[in-house]
Each structure stands twice: as structure tokens, then as C-alpha cells.
Amino acid sequence: MFVRAFHRRFLAVTAGARPILAVALAFVLGACVSDGLDAVQGHMGNFSSLVFAPDGESLRISEFVASTRRDDGGPESDGRTHFSLVSVSVPPGHGAGAIEQASFGSNDPRRHFTLAARRNMDEAEFLGGVAAHVSGRVGVSRDILLYVHGFNTSFDEARFRVAQIVADGRFSGVPALFAWKTRGGLIAYESDKESATVARDALEKLILDLARTPGVGRVHILAHSMGAWLTMESLRAIAISGHPDLDGRLGEVMLAAPDIDLTVFRQQVARLDPKHVSIFVASNDRALSLSSRIAGDRQRLGAMDPDNPRDKAQLDRLGVAVHDISALATGFVGHGAFAETPSVVRQIGAQLAVPRPGDPGHAIIDLLGADKEPTGALPPPAAPPAAAPSPRPSGAIESQPLAPLTR
């Protein structure tokens, strides 16, 4: 076990360095995990339980949820934002890229993702809970990852997706979900677009509130499909209000299969510093092909083909990082490859684990470099580099095989 090996190494290091290394260990193994819904106490004990759950035991991943859906998870909305803290159980036999669900009947926590606990909160409790989970952390463990789901996504699916990404990507910070009203089904596509439009103000406020959380590091956003459009609309409004980089706290903005018209995206990203933005495209994404037809054959950003000279020229002008995962798309639709392909979700996790210059963590990466053995069904991502990455060239396009997301 990696933990035992590291512990032996830890004890072998000079005794005077132990307090420093203890903080470093918290940084590397940090995780927002508990077996209940109380504020995290004794962070060192909680940090290792996400990444290295004992054999045969489920992971418990806590998520802060802000939703414009009903309190009971239904699709209708009363216009208000509802807040909760949930605990999702990830089964011990979980395979990277999968959300294990029962084919029929109820989910069994020994084999399937389950909602282990849920507590409703008011807005003040929600923001106080986020602050409590951030408190006492160091380095990238102070970061928040906000997931914004896409079209035709159930409430449980969205909550389970967050847990799957956190587990597979080894995210060490605080996970959060923004869930917006979606009816689901192709005939409800236009209805869902209207619902996403209504949710813009709520998401805008949530992002600003998270960025203002005392002690928070960065706010990363991972948005899928129509949720990518919703995210960019909210970030555009935030930028216009005078906070384009969340006053220094905006991290990665990762748009997976973005269901956004190319011309619209140009206007959205023009308000932001494009160095924050990465897009995952797949020219064989059938869901986006259908979306394009619904929109009158207007090209979707997430279905552009970097191997096509015309598409490549347009992508180059955007100034964002582009990752072509066409060859990795699985299934007939191929719309969820960013999370369903282990190599992609692990690279996402690796990028989130890269510390900013000046953050704790650089000094210990070399110390941990030799211990990269997989544990159980959830092998870790590639280790982050020992130094801060250099700025990427504008419009850099990375083709298959997927390289680490670099700045």
C-alpha cells in the first residue's frame, strides 16, 4: 500500500522536518470526505479516506449542492435556489469511468452508487459549510470544483457524476454541484434551454459566493454540454460586472462537449482571459450533431474537428486549450467521454492537482514521485510536475493521445 510505504519514508525523514511534512501530506492526500454530514473535523484523518479507502469498503464523498430544482429532486422549479449537503457512497469495486447502477430494483451500496445521506440547508448554512470544509486546508486542497450538468440529466445522475469524477480524478478539494431544471428527452430540448437561461442568475451568484468563501484557493468549473453554455453565460455576466477572474480565484474552466454555438462562444470567451478555458471536443459526438440540426445546422463548439483545416483555423483563433477526444468516445452517442474514459478524467484530476506558484506542495512532489502504484480499482492520475507549468501557446490543440492539460 502506498500509504504504508509513504509512512515508512515519512518516519525516516529527520524528526525536525516532521511538522512540515505533516502539512505536506495533508496537501497531497486532501479530500472532502466524511461518513456523515457534519463539518469536517480533524482534517488529517479525513484526507486519506477518499483516496485510499480500506479494501472492501465504500468511499463516502460529500458534495455541496445548489439546485434550482425542487427540494425533492423533481424537474420543476419554483425559481428559488435550494441548498443541501449530500453524501454519495461509491462502491468498493468501482471501475474508473463508470457509474455503477442496478439494472432493476434498488441500488446496493456494496455494488452501486447510492445516496447515503442528505441534509437540506439554507443559504447561510450552505456557505458556512463550504467555509468549514475549506478551513485548515493547504495548497490545492483549498480549491472548489463546481460541476454543472448538461441536458437530460437526472438529479441522482448529476450527484453521482460529481462523486465519480472526484474519485477517479483524485480531486482533493471541496466538490460542489449546480443542478438546474431539465425535463429530459429530445422533445424537451428547447424547454431545457429556456430553463438553463432562467438559471443563469442563480449560477452567477453561486460562483461569486464560492469565490468569496474565506480561505478558498481557486474555484474550478467543469461543465458538460448545455451546462457549458449556462456556465459561460454566467461567467460572461460576472466579467461584465467587473470580476472576470473572480478577483484572482478563478481556476480551470473545463467545458466538456460544449453545446454552444461557435459565434456565441466567441462573444462569451472574449470577456474572459482564455488561459483559464479548456474545451473537450469530439467530432463524432452524435448528441451535438442532433443539437446542431435543431439549431438550424449551426455548428456546435464541442463537435468541431481539429483535423479539419477550417475547424482548426477557427479553434486557433479562440485562444483556449483544445483537447480532441474523438478517438476516446465510447458508445453510440459518445457524449460523455470526458468522464467515462478513465484516461481523460484522470488527466482532468492531474490538472486540478497542479499547485499555483507560491502554494505549498512544490517541495514535496519529488518526495512522492516514486510512489505511484495503483490501488484497487481506482489507479491514481499522473503525478503533477515539480514546477509550475509554463503558459501554453494561444489556441494550443492537443490531439489523441490526450496529453496532460497544461498552462
Q: What is the pLDDT of residue 279?
A: 96
HEC assignment per residue over 304-367: CCCCCHHHHHHHHHHCCEEEECHHHCCCCCCCCHHHHCHHHHHHHHHHHCCCCCCCCCHHHHHH
Which 3 state secondary structure label does DSSP give 251? strand
Q: Is this model's pTM higher than 0.75 or not?
A: yes
Q: What is the pLDDT of residue 53?
A: 58
DSSP 246: G
Q: What is the pLDDT of residue 338?
A: 86
Identify the sign of the CA torsion 280, 284, 288, 289. positive
Give the helix, strand, coil percentages of the chain, each rounded to 5.
Answer: 40, 15, 45
At what angle are helices 189-198 and 226-240 packed, to 10 degrees? 30
The grid cell for 156 is 441522482
Distance of CA 272 to the CA centre of its chain: 19
Q: What is the pLDDT of residue 33?
A: 33
Q: What is the pLDDT of residue 244?
A: 96
Domain at 2-378: CATH architecture: 3-Layer(aba) Sandwich (3.40)
Residue 58 contacts by C-beta under 8 Å, 6 or more apart in sequence? 89, 90, 91, 92, 109, 110
The grid cell for 278 is 479548456
Residue 321 sits at the vertex; the CA angle it makes with 158 and 141, to the nearest 5 degrees, is 55
Q: What is the pLDDT of residue 309?
A: 96
The grid cell for 375 is 490501488
First to last CA, the chain: 32
CA dist., res. 85 & res. 230, Å (int): 23
What are the domain boundaries of the chain? 2-378
Cis amide leading into 384 (omega within 30): no
Q: What is the pLDDT of residue 151?
A: 87
Residue 336: name the closest of 203, 173, 147 by CA: 147
Q: Are the C-beta atoms of 83 and 129 separated by less than 8 Å? A: no
Q: Are the C-beta atoms of 43 and 30 separated by less than 8 Å? A: yes
Q: What is the pLDDT of residue 331?
A: 56
Residue 228: name the closest of 251, 261, 198 by CA: 261
Residue 381: name the closest of 177, 148, 167, 143 by CA: 167
Length of the chain counted residue by residue: 407
One pLDDT digit (tens) per residue for the chain, 407 residues? 333 333 333 334 333 433 333 333 233 323 333 333 433 333 323 333 344 456 678 899 999 999 998 655 555 666 689 999 999 999 999 999 999 999 989 999 999 999 999 999 999 999 999 999 999 999 999 999 999 999 888 899 999 999 999 999 999 999 999 999 887 666 667 788 888 999 999 999 999 999 999 999 999 999 999 999 999 999 999 999 999 999 999 999 999 999 999 999 999 999 999 999 999 999 888 778 677 667 666 788 988 999 999 999 999 999 999 999 988 866 544 577 888 889 999 989 998 998 877 665 544 333 333 333 322 233 333 333 333 443 443 333 343 334 434 44
Q: Are the C-beta atoms of 199 and 74 separated by less than 8 Å? A: no
Q: What is the pLDDT of residue 21?
A: 32
Which 3 state secondary structure label does DSSP give 205? helix
